[in-house]
Structure 1
Amino acid sequence: MSLAKSASLTLEEFLKLPETKPASIYIDGEIIQKPMPKARHSRLQAKLINGINEVTEKRQIAYAFPELRCTFGRGSIVLDVAVIRWQQIQFDDDGEPIIDDMLIAPNWTIEILSPEQSSNRVISNILHCLKYGCELGWLIDRDDRSIIVFQPHQQPEFCHKSDKLIVLDGVDLELTGEEIFSWLKMKEQY
């Protein structure tokens, strides 16, 4: 993560800047550029999004978005996976989302730690979301095969192996750490 301090840049000024690739986030006057996702990161991200949307979209419970910019509470962050409850997504008459800019905290945020990232910086994104109404946060560390689950006003929970993960209320999905990390295997071993 590259960090650029900018005491004179406001959130409104940051939002007028052109998007960067990879995306930059803004929290409390600091601009931080996210690292470019690599193969394992992208694989976990895609499998999580597909798994969540498979059980939530048809029943109109929620929708998992990849790399969605969410702007709220003096910050604008791009989350690896942002799950938004269906009733918080506004649609036009054709059923398309009306607003491209999400101006609320997601209901569930999932961050996948990359080797180049500071775990504390990524945790600060999750804590920022929780402070402004997010119901659940996951920090996935693929190198040590663990997931820390964050909920408002509770101690974080360390999960790995066969520990059952807490998911967003109303989402009928059962996952364990083992299952999530098994998604990294794309080729059978002989």
Structure 2
Amino acid sequence: MTPALPQTLTLEEFLKLPNLEESPAWEYIEGRAIQKPMPKTRHSILQKRLVAAIDNHSDAYTALPELRCTFGGRSIVPDVAVVAWDRILLKETGEPEDDFLTAPDWSIEILSPDQKANRVIDNLLHCLQNGCQLGWLIDPDDYSVLIFAPQQEPKVSRGDQPLHVLAGVDLTLNASQIFAWLQLGKR
């Protein structure tokens, strides 16, 4: 079950909550603060491997785990947010601003066993409606990746079908390769 705070909050009130940055992450959706489920081993391995694979295959983008993205009246924390380097706002010191106030270029979610798929899909659709170019919903129990792109129907990918990635990410990957990362006994 996903914990939620009972009262309706404004986005500004949510962003001032004292426990906001506790793990697992809290998200703000339609006036409610909702805590994401605690990641488990398979989730964490997939997240770690995706961040490394994307970062190793792009100079234009960076993959960031658990980046809070506040935009379009929501504050969400994708499992992996892929953002173009030139979209990260910098302080005068040259360091990045802490608050990321726009949709990521690519939002990746890894479905946890006790997570509601429609809630995650809703966040991916919100990202696409606010400028995100690509969304993935990875389902480790179904060994599938549901791919979302603007103005297109979602597409389920399994097996050896190449997965759609952002232009500028020189990565060829399919669902079989992603789920093979979980085969620790075959390393």
Normalising by the smaller structure, the TM-score range is: over 0.9
Deviation track 1:152-178 (CA, whole Å, cap 9, x = no partner) reads: 111000100011100012211100000
Deviations 1:13-57 (A, max 9, x none): 00000223211100121221100100100000000000000112x
Q: What is aligned with 2:14?
A: 14
Q: Which residue of 2 is the match for residue 2 of structure 1?
A: 3
Unaligned runs of 5+ in 2: none
User: How far off is 1:94 after superposition?
Assistant: 6.4
Matched, 1:96 2:95: yes
Matches within 5 A, 1:84-123: 84-91=83-90, 96-97=95-96, 99-123=97-121
User: Structure 1 stretches of 5 or more lacking a match?
Assistant: none
| Conserved? CA contact 1:5–1:29, under 8 Å | no
Q: Structure 2 matches for 1:1-190, cutoff 5 A?
A: 1-7=2-8, 9-18=9-18, 19=20, 20-56=22-58, 59=59, 61-91=60-90, 96-97=95-96, 99-188=97-186
Q: Which runs of 4+ in 1 moved over 4 A?
A: 92-95
Displacement of 1:101 after TM fit? 0.8
TM-score, normalised by the number of residues in structure 2: 0.93
Does the 8 A contact of 2:103 with 2:127 survive in 1? yes
Structure 2: distance between partners of 1:29 and 1:174: 39
Distance 1:130 1:69 in 2: 16
Could you say what the CA RMSD is over the residues aligned between the two structures, in angstroms?
A: 1.4
Q: Displacement of 1:5 after TM fit?
A: 4.4
Q: Tell me, what secondary structure is at the counterpart of 2:78?
A: strand
Residues in 2 aligned to 1:131 and 1:66: alpha-carbon distance in whole angstroms: 21
Q: How many residues align?
A: 184
Under a length normalisation based on structure 1, what TM-score does the superposition of the two structures give? 0.92
Counterpart code for 1:16: K
